[in-house]
Structure formats: structure tokens, C-alpha cells
Amino acid sequence: MFSNFKIYNQIFVRILIILICFGCSAYVFQYGLIYTSIFICVVTFLIIVELYLYIKNAFVFYDKTIQAILQNDFSADFSKHKSFTSYASLFKLYENLKENQNEQISKDIIYRSILNNIETGILILQKEKEDWNIFLMNDYFSTHFKVPKVSKWHYLKNQLPSLCSIIEEQNFNEIKTSLQIRVNKQDTQTFVMQSSRTRTFQQEYYVVLLDSIQKVVEKKEKEAWINLMKVISHELLNSLTPIRSLSQNLHELVQQETLSNEDLDDMKQSVQTMLNRSNHLQQFVESYRKLAMLPTPQKEKVALTEIIQNGLQLMAPLFKKENIEVQNLVSFNRWLFVDKLQIEQVLINLLTNSMYALSNKTNRLITLSAETKEKRLFITITDTGNGVEPEIEDKIFLPFFTTRKEGAGIGLTLSKNIIEAHGGYLTYQNNDGKTTFVICLME
């Protein structure tokens, strides 16, 4: 505002000088000083020309600066114009916008670098009028699918017709599915596809994520192996560390020429402790062998009610001792082609898990139910226990993971492996304060 006032003030001064010159010229002309009057008129004309050029340059400079801002051209350097104090506000606006653009460019470079280093195919489309154009394609997408970084949708459609057809069939709406894509006449690969549509600042975007099923499986397998090795190394160290310490102690004792009664007691205690830890280590290895060497299911035709009744009958004494009520809501029978003993073992493991979950509860209820959907049988075991804490939900099926001091941590893992060996799956849910395990088997 101050700089604008200075411009107005300078224009006003020039106009005032012009008016004074005109007055002086008329005044001297009345006294016959013709040449003096002409000279003043010439000076006045020059001042008018200077005023015109001043105003023109001011407007031209403003116009160039505004055009540069509108076109996002911030390459100019106004440091040489510091003497033009009249443009201080304009320079400040220009520099602020220049800093904002540089900051935005830096962020874009960082974001694109992050997206280009992710091993997931990322495609972002931007809607322009009624057409979609490619806003961003990360390096993984371009390299993996052998697609150049084109900017038009129809170019991409020529390269990946299977992907683009699915998106167009869904009218660019949200999708979560799997699809097979053939790249350069190679074998088809299966991908998990997720897409979402969003609008921001009057712009509409469509984001597509593609993950290779093989890479997802490899990632999960790697995570599972890492977690398994952590557990195994933890158990081994818990046993080997005290055994090694006690062995060193015994070695020092036997080096003595004489042994006191206290030394003998220490030796007995050390040997007993080493025996206990060895037994624990042996039990741990046996548990691992159960998981690693699960026998192939010996399938036979078995009635659903027989499996459930056998499992409940085996658990009945424990339920009675713990004062646990069991509701069997399975009101129909089905013939299953399964390994009877293995499925009964799964049922017993899950019922045992529910029994321990009810140990500190007043309302102790376990409910069994079943239903069929699309040629699949779903057996549900629900208890009114405390449920599983959210932070450990993804660990309950890991080998040797347990929240019980006396637990071995293989019951749920073994159950999951057995069900998967039968072509089904085992899932966990926690709804309305109730814990539910669902067994899915093919009929």
C-alpha cells in the first residue's frame, strides 16, 4: 500500500509541475516574452512525455510480472531493481510465490521419488473435461509392464488392454479384484488390483494400485519366517544361556581338589536345572516337529454331528470343572470328506482356547453353530471371553506365540495348518465383546 502511495505521489507531483509550467508559460506570454513562453512549453512537453513513459513503464512492468506469475515463470531476479522502491510490494509478492513454488517442486520431487521406489505398480489418472489423462505412472509400473510413460489414456489402452478394459467396464469406480496380465507375450501373471476415486481442488483423480500375487506371497512368507526365527532363537537362548552358565559353574567346581556339602548341593541343583531346561528344549523341538511334519490328511466320509459330539464329549469334564456352559446350536447334519482325528483335534484346540479365555469371566458361555453357503460349511465357535488385544491380533496364528505362561503356542498354528491342508481356512473375529473362530471347509 505504501509503495502504491509513492507511485501516486510521483504522478501527482509531475502533473502539478505540468500545470505550473502551463501557468508560467501563459503568464510570461502576456508580457511579450514569447521565447521564454515557448521554452517553458517545450519543457512542459518533455515533462508530459516523461510522465507518459513513467506510467507506461510502470504498467508494462506490472503487466510482465503478473503474466510471469500467471504462467508460473519464476526465473526472473528482481534484486537489480531494488532501487525501484515503488515496486517493493510487487517484488515481495513475486518472491513469496517463487518460494512457494520451489517448496512445492521440492515436495513433488520427494513424493515422486518415494512412489518410484515402491515395489507396487501405481497409476494416477486425472480427469480433464470428459476424458482421463495419465497424471503419474511410477517407475515400477512402467518397468514391470514394459509401458512407456505416456500421457494419454488411449496410448496406455493399446499397451495394457486387459487392465484398461476392467477399469472402463467399472466406469472408473472403485475396484478391488484380481486379474491376469500378459506382458510382452510372456506367461500371464496374477495381480491384486485396488483403485479409488477422489476429488480435490476441483480436480478429479483415479488411483490404481497393482501388486503381484507372487510378491505378496513372498513378502508374507518372509515375514512369517522372520517371526518364526525370532521365536525359535528366543526359546533356544532362554534354554542354552542358563545351561551354559551352569555348565561353567560345574566346570569350576569339579576343578577343586575337595568338595564341600554346599558345593555338592550346588552341583545337584545345577544338574536338576539343566535337566529341566533340556526337557523344555526337547518339548519345544517336539512341538516344532508337529508343525513342520504335519501328516497328510487321511480323508474319509464323516458326519458333522459325530465330529462335534466327540469333541464336546472329550472336553465335557474340563467344562464341568470350570463351570462353563456350552450351547450346541448345530441343528443339521452334513457328510464331510475329512480326516476325522485331525478335525477333532482342531475342535478340541479351539474349545481349549475358549476355555482359557473364560478363566477370569463370570459369564462363561461357549456357543457352537454351523451354516452352509455356496457349497462351503462354516463352523463357528464363540465365547464370552475378553477377546484378543488389537495389537496382537496379527500374531495369534504365529508358531509358539502365546499369552499363557504354561502354553506352548502351537494350538492355533496347528489348527490353521490342518484346516488349510483340507483346502479350507480358519479365521478370527472379535465382535461385541465376543471372540469367534470360524472354520471353513468344503462340503
Helices (H) and strands (E) in the chain, counts: 11, 12
Report strand pairing: 365-373 vs 376-383: antiparallel
Instruction: Tell me the pLDDT band of 398, cut-offs 50, 70 and 90.
Output: low
* Cell numbers at 325, concatenated: 456352559
Residue with cell 474349545: 351
- Determine the pLDDT at residue 399: 63
Instruction: For the chain, list the domains and their CATH numbers.
Output: 2-100 (no CATH), 118-215 (3.30.450.20), 217-289 (1.10.287), 300-442 (3.30.565.10)
Handedness of CA 171, 174, 180, 184 (dihedral sign): positive
More confident residue, 214 or 372: 372
CA distances (Å), origin 271, targets 137, 250, 281: 66, 9, 15
Find residue 380's DSSP bridge partners: 369, 438
Region 326-341: mean pLDDT is: 87
Q: Is 19 exposed, middle or buried (0-12, 13-18, 19+ CB in 10 A)?
A: exposed
In 3D space, the residue among 166, 126, 159, 133 whose CA is nearest the CA of residue 144 turns out to be 159
Average pLDDT over every residue of 67-96: 66
The SS3 call for residue 105 is helix
Predicted local confidence at residue 400, as pLDDT: 61
- What is the DSSP code (8-state) at residue 295? P
Mean local confidence (pLDDT), 157-172: 85
pLDDT grade, residue 216 (50/70/90)?
A: low
Q: Which bin fits 138, alpha (ψ -120 to 50), beta or left (φ > 0)?
A: beta
For residue 392, pLDDT over 60 is answered with yes
pLDDT, tens digit, 9 for 90 and up, residues 297-329: 888 998 888 888 888 888 888 888 888 888 888
pTM of the model: 0.43
| Share above pLDDT 70 across residues of the chain, in percent, rounded to a whole number | 76
Q: 344 and 360 in contact (C-beta within 8 Å)?
A: no
Among 96-105, 145-154, 233-242, 287-296, whose mean pLDDT is lowest?
287-296
Q: How far is CA 180 from CA 19, 50, 119, 188, 192, in A?
A: 84, 75, 18, 6, 9
- Least trusted range by pLDDT, from 37-41, 93-97, 390-394, 420-424: 390-394
pLDDT at 2: 44
- Choose among 114, 86, 97: nearest CA to 10: 86
pLDDT (tens digit, 9 = 90+) per residue, 224-258?
666 666 666 766 666 677 777 778 777 777 777 77
Q: What backbone torsions phi and psi does residue 127 show, to the nearest 5 degrees? A: -85, 130
User: What pLDDT shows up at residue 81?
Assistant: 58
For residue 51, count other CB atoms closer than 10 A to its CB.
17
Amino acid 146: pLDDT = 83
Whether the pLDDT of residue 142 is over 80: the answer is yes
Per-residue pLDDT at 1? 45
Vertex 412: Cα angle to 287 and 232 (nearest 5): 40
Confidence of residue 6 (pLDDT cuts 50, 70, 90): low
